[in-house]
Amino acid sequence: MNKINFKKRRNAAYKQVQSNINESIINHLDCREYSNKPIYHPRLINITYFIRQEADVLMSHGVADKNYLSMRDSEGRMINKFQHVLVPGPWLKNRLMALPGLTLKEDQIHVVGWPRLDPLCKVRKKYLEQKGESSQPNVLWAPTHDHRKRGKSKESTSSYPRFGEHSEEMNSLYNYTIALHPRNRTSKEPTTVSLAESDFVISDFGTMVYEAWALGIPVIFPRWILKDRVIKYVKGSAEAYIFENNIGLHAESIEDVHRIISENKPLGDDVKLFMEQYLPSEYLGNSGMIIAEKLRTLPIQRSYKRIFGYYWDYAKLRFSRLVK
């Protein structure tokens, strides 16, 4: 049975996100079964949530596609350097299997759901049980970050900051909450409870879209802001597929947003059909348990080069401390 090392990336914006994911998995492990070493340990099974880190197993730090697992470097597909990859559902697995240049086999890509949803399912259930029939709707604006600018015009695929122009109007009509991406705010706490206690989510193309849909919350896309940039700049991704096929609620104006909310538009069948492929309902609430069991038993090939490198680096570190 494998002992697991949850590698942590030293990044303030994603520190708590990593902790949330880890906690959902660690809840199903004995304390002797895992560690949290920041470096690759050759005698453990190392899992990372970032494609540029060295590890045995990769699962993205977000559930959105965004072509993250399709990235290339000078040596080809970056996911080829991992022995196993964990994905939320068959949609993304099938997409990866069709990638030119992929060397991973089908039994190295595993469908496991999304562990951050495990605690949120409980919060959502409690909210729905306590929610009053005539209460004002809770509306959450949860955009992805705008740090990535694309194309010659340096265009953003985020609704931030432009949708913020309507904040005063939204505040006057609804229980309105803003949850910016951790990269766009001082507090790095990820959006959790405010998401689960929402009636509508306004977002664009990040993790919030899928988490909201998985919890049964309709998502409104401010299409007049986003236009077709997602289709243009993130070709082939699940997000481009959503925008190409108008899956979900696409608003062409702020008036459209108000109409959708006033009509209390539910989660459509188009969303439900897509989500059963992207993030199947059978994994909701038990993804952490599935991942824990998977990590215990995954076959891992040990690298003597990595073992030698680890102990050589450790020896050099100890020697440098003795010299000082």
Tell me the mean pLDDT in the region 46-74: 96
Give residue 274's pLDDT. 98
pLDDT greater than 60 at residue 58:
yes
Give residue 187's pLDDT. 59
Tell me the mean pLDDT in the region 193-221: 96
Tell me the mean pLDDT in the region 297-315: 74
Tell me the mean pLDDT in the region 262-278: 97
pLDDT greater than 90 at residue 10:
no
**CA pair distance 133, 130, nearest whole angstrom:** 10
Cα angle for residues 296, 301, 307 (degrees, 5° grid)? 100
Q: Is residue 174 within 8 Å of 136, Cβ to Cβ?
A: yes
pLDDT greater than 90 at residue 269:
yes
**CA pair distance 64, 67, nearest whole angstrom:** 9
Among 134-138, 223-227, 256-260, name the one with the lowest average pLDDT.
Answer: 134-138
Identity at 115, one-letter amino acid code: P
How far apart, in Å, are the Cα atoms of 241 and each of 205, 237, 271, 286?
11, 6, 12, 27
pLDDT greater than 50 at residue 175:
yes
Confidence band, pLDDT 50/70/90 cuts, at residue 184: low
**CA pair distance 127, 121, nearest whole angstrom:** 10
Residues with Cβ within 8 Å of 17's Cβ and at least 6 positions away in sequence, in order, are 49, 61, 62, 116, 182, 190
Q: Is residue 252 within 8 Å of 223, Cβ to Cβ?
A: yes
Supply the mean pLDDT for the chain. 91
Tell me the mean pLDDT in the region 16-33: 94
Give residue 287's pLDDT. 98
Give residue 12's pLDDT. 67
% of residues, the chain, pLDDT over 90 = 75
Tell me the mean pLDDT in the region 44-67: 95
pLDDT greater than 50 at residue 7:
yes
pTM: 0.91
Confidence band, pLDDT 50/70/90 cuts, at residue 107: very high
pLDDT greater than 80 at residue 71:
yes
Give residue 74's pLDDT. 94
φ and ψ of 76, to 5 deg: 115, -150
pLDDT greater than 90 at residue 316:
no
Give residue 4's pLDDT. 97
Q: Is residue 61 within 8 Å of 91, Cβ to Cβ?
A: no
CATH fold for domain 117-278: Rossmann fold (3.40.50)
Give residue 306's pLDDT. 65
Give residue 188's pLDDT. 46
Give residue 27's pLDDT. 96
Give residue 134's pLDDT. 65
For helices 117-130 and 207-214, the axis angle rounded to 10 degrees is 50
Tell me the mean pLDDT in the region 123-131: 92
pLDDT greater than 90 at residue 38:
no
Confidence band, pLDDT 50/70/90 cuts, at residue 312: confident
Give residue 238's pLDDT. 98
